[in-house]
């Protein structure tokens, strides 16, 4: 291929856009008190789709209408890696500084739910369940999960886009 263009040279901008838009969605959904997970998931997949579809199309055009599934996955992985890091840093910052009460509120809700079901749980079981909840309700854990989620999300999207757009 004479016109071969390395995927990473075109995709840094889209990775930045992906990370920043993902962070903006988290901020706006929290600010507007929209707690429906379906809306968040839909918005994130929409952002990932746009941020992968555009560079995959650009890559295919710049390479003489040639695209392999591997190249699509490389593009998606790069976008997920860089954008996911940006998003993960923001998630940590968001839950540690901007909205530190989120964890305490979620733990209080979990405790209320457990107390409603107290006929089925002993006090010791409830304390142990709360201890596990506290262990996983930490900004660092949220940040790690956001990074892993971004990588998985972009992998799925780049796989689908690659299957649709690949050269015959």
Domain hosting residue 36, numbered range: 7-99+139-165
Average pLDDT across the chain, whole number: 87
Whether residue 80 contacts residue 153, with contact meaning beta carbons closer than 8 Å, is answered with yes
18 contact partners, CB below 8 Å, separation of at least 6: 47, 48, 51, 79, 80, 82, 83, 86, 87, 150, 154
37-44: long-range pairs with CB below 8 Å, 24+: 44/149, 44/153
- pLDDT, one tens digit per residue, over 97-147 is 998 888 888 878 877 877 776 666 677 877 787 787 778 888 899 999 999
The predicted structure's pLDDT at residue 1: 43
Domain membership flag for residue 65: yes
Which of 92, 78, 76 is CA-nearest to residue 144? Answer: 92
Question: Residues 51-72: what's their mean pLDDT?
Answer: 92
Domain membership flag for residue 87: yes
Q: How far is CA 113 from the centre of its chain?
A: 28
Q: For the chain, what is the domain count?
A: 1
Domain membership flag for residue 124: no
Question: Residues 16-33: what's their mean pLDDT?
Answer: 94
Q: What is the pTM of this model?
A: 0.84
Which of helix, strand or coil describes residue 33? coil
Domain membership flag for residue 129: no
């Amino acid at each position: 291929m004479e016109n071969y263009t390395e995927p990473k040279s075109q995709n840094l901008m889209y990775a930045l856009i992906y990370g920043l838009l993902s962070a903006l969605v988290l901020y706006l959904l929290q600010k507007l008190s929209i707690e429906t997970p379906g809306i968040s998931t839909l918005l994130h997949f929409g952002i990932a789709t746009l941020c992968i579809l555009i560079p995959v199309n650009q890559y295919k055009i710049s390479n003489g209408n040639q695209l392999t599934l591997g190249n699509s996955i490389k593009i998606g992985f790069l976008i997920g890696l860089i954008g996911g890091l940006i998003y993960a840093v923001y998630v940590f910052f968001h839950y540690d500084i901007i909205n530190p009460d989120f964890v305490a509120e979620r733990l209080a809700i979990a405790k209320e739910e457990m107390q409603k079901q107290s006929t089925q749980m002993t006090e010791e079981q409830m304390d142990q369940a709360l201890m596990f909840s506290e262990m996983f309700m930490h900004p660092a854990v949220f940040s790690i999960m956001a990074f892993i989620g971004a990588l998985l999300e972009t992998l799925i999207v780049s796989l689908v886009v690659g299957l649709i757009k690949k050269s015959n």
